[in-house]
């Protein structure tokens, strides 16, 4: 009786060499597949004498079953090994430090703008945002700045056409508001403005916040009252305001508004007149312009100046931010300087 010892030795040696799925299927092809060695044994049946045929057949079958078992055991081993490798690959070390993400934060100008809006919204102001491209009429003429008026030289304008320009201030928002709405008016116009001007305290693009109140019996006292409240909320409780006479074509009288120096007030070694670097020893810092709305401006918007009066002011947002945080150069706001910007994380 054939025991196929040689073939079995071969099969044992081959299966021992199998290391992965590809080699395993090669093994199947070579021994158990249709054209494999074991299947080939069946073809020898022809030359086996008839009385030995059943035994021969059984012996071939035993080899096949034996080889199939080897195959299956190997297959299970390989699967297990692959699984272990995958577990190893996909292991997460929960003790590793996490990847750092840098969340963004609002720009200081945006923060102060929002803070300013909150202060004035608390006094009942609405918000209006006008266009950045304006016409001569809204930016100058109806604000009482006639074509040949020397005060046009106060602001160096970027002209786009004969008539269109990049607004030089947020004051045209006053005209647009009064065109759209009759008194009582209490509006705040924040936005970007543009002037051909650039140095440590000037930038060709900067931000302003315009304020306009029109109602019966509005006076300069109302302006001072509102601005007192504004500066106290922005710069601290003890801050005072001082109005100095000035000139703007759209207000009469016009004032420049100073705040008491919060640096001197905070630092005892910097007493007013003692060389404080912020107020230069004067005890006061200029922060904005304003006044009583010029009657001509009210008339230009169809509002009767005998019945109504108004107050207006314009605040430079960069200037307030520079003062509040001691930032020496306006350019720093526009340079994407992370050292500066990251200090404003909430």
Which tokens sit at 346? 């909430």
Contact between 344 and 106 (Cβ < 8 Å): yes
Contact between 219 and 119 (Cβ < 8 Å): no
Q: Report how far residue 195's alpha carbon sits from residue 204's, in angstroms, rounded to the nearest whole number.
A: 5
Contact between 125 and 186 (Cβ < 8 Å): yes
User: DSSP class of residue 237?
Assistant: T
- Could you say whether residue 289 binds ligand DAH (CB under 6 A)? yes
According to DSSP, the β-strands at 185-194 and 126-127 are parallel
- Could you say whether residue 260 binds ligand DAH (CB under 6 A)? no
Report the residue from 210, 261, 265, 321 that binds ligand DAH according to the rule CB under 6 A.
Answer: 210
- Could you say whether residue 130 binds ligand DAH (CB under 6 A)? no
Report the residue from 135, 314, 318, 333 that binds ligand DAH according to the rule CB under 6 A.
Answer: 314
Which tokens sit at 345? 């994380």
CA atoms within 13 A on the CB side of 264: 20
Judged by CB under 6 A, which stretch of 26-34, 59-67, 244-252, 318-326 contacts ligand DAH? 244-252
Judged by CB under 6 A, which stretch of 90-98, 266-274, 285-293, 298-306 contacts ligand DAH? 285-293
User: Nearest approach, Cβ of 229 to ligand DAH (angstroms)?
Assistant: 18
User: Nearest approach, Cβ of 232 to ligand DAH (angstroms)?
Assistant: 21
Judged by CB under 6 A, which stretch of 45-53, 73-81, 274-282, 307-315 contacts ligand DAH? 307-315
Judged by CB under 6 A, which stretch of 74-82, 91-99, 310-318, 330-338 contacts ligand DAH? 310-318
- Could you say whether residue 172 binds ligand DAH (CB under 6 A)? no
- Could you say whether residue 251 binds ligand DAH (CB under 6 A)? yes
In the region spanning residues 69 to 128, those forming contacts with ligand DAH, defined by CB under 6 A, are none
Burial of 154: CB neighbours in 10 Å, binned 0-12, 13-18, 19+: middle
Nearer to ligand DAH, 45 or 200 (CB): 200
- Could you say whether residue 312 binds ligand DAH (CB under 6 A)? yes
* Binding-site size, ligand DAH (CB under 6 A): 12
Q: Report how far residue 321's alpha carbon sits from residue 343's, in angstroms, rounded to the nearest whole number.
A: 13
User: DSSP class of residue 30?
Assistant: I
Non-local (6+) Cβ contacts of 265 within 8 A are 236, 238, 239
Report the residue from 297, 313, 320, 333 that binds ligand DAH according to the rule CB under 6 A.
Answer: 313
Distances (CA, A) of 179 to 34, 131, 207: 95, 14, 23
Nearer to ligand DAH, 136 or 210 (CB): 210
Report the residue from 113, 169, 176, 319 that binds ligand DAH according to the rule CB under 6 A.
Answer: 169
Q: Which long-range contacts (CB under 8 A, 24 or more apart) does 276-283 make?
A: 278/323, 278/326
In the region spanning residues 20 to 79, those forming contacts with ligand DAH, defined by CB under 6 A, are none
Distances (CA, A) of 310 to 102, 158, 178, 262, 296: 47, 29, 11, 30, 12
Nearer to ligand DAH, 239 or 294 (CB): 294
User: Nearest approach, Cβ of 166 to ligand DAH (angstroms)?
Assistant: 13
- Could you say whether residue 291 binds ligand DAH (CB under 6 A)? yes
Where along the sequence are the contacts to ligand DAH (CB under 6 A)? 169, 171, 210, 248, 250-251, 289-291, 312-314
């Amino acid at each position: 009786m054939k025991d196929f010892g040689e073939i079995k030795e071969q099969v044992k040696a081959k299966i021992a060499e199998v290391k992965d799925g590809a080699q395993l299927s090669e093994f199947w092809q070579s021994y158990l597949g249709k054209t494999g060695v074991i299947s080939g044994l069946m073809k020898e049946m022809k030359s086996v004498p008839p009385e030995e045929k059943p035994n021969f057949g059984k012996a071939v079958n035993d080899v096949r079953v034996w080889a199939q078992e080897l195959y299956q055991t190997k297959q299970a081993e390989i699967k297990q090994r692959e699984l272990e490798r995958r577990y190893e690959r996909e292991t997460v070390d929960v003790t590793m430090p996490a990847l750092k993400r840098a969340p963004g934060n609002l720009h200081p100008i945006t923060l102060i703008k929002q803070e300013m809006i909150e202060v004035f919204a608390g006094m009942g102001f609405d918000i209006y945002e006008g266009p950045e491209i304006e016409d001569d009429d809204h930016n100058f003429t109806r604000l009482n700045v006639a074509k040949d008026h020397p005060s046009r030289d106060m602001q160096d304008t970027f002209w786009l056409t004969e008539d269109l320009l990049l607004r030089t201030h947020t004051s045209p928002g006053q005209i647009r508001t009064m065109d759209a709405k009759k008194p009582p008016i209490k509006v705040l116009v924040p936005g970007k403005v543009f002037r051909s001007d650039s140095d440590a305290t000037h930038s060709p693009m900067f931000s302003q916040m315009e304020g306009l109140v029109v109602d019966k019996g509005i006076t300069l006292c109302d302006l001072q009252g509102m601005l007192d409240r504004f500066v106290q909320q922005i710069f601290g409780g003890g801050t005072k305001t001082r109005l100095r006479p000035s000139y703007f074509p759209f207000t009469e009288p016009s004032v420049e508004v100073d705040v008491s120096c919060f640096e001197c007030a905070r630092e005892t070694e910097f007493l007013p007149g003692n060389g404080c670097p912020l107020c230069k020893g004067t005890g006061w810092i200029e922060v904005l312009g304003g006044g009583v709305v010029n009657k001509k401006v009210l008339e230009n918007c169809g509002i009767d100046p005998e019945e109504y009066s108004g107050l207006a002011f314009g605040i430079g947002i960069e200037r307030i931010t520079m003062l509040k945080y001691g930032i020496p150069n306006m350019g720093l706001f526009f340079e994407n300087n992370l050292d500066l910007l990251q200090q404003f994380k909430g």
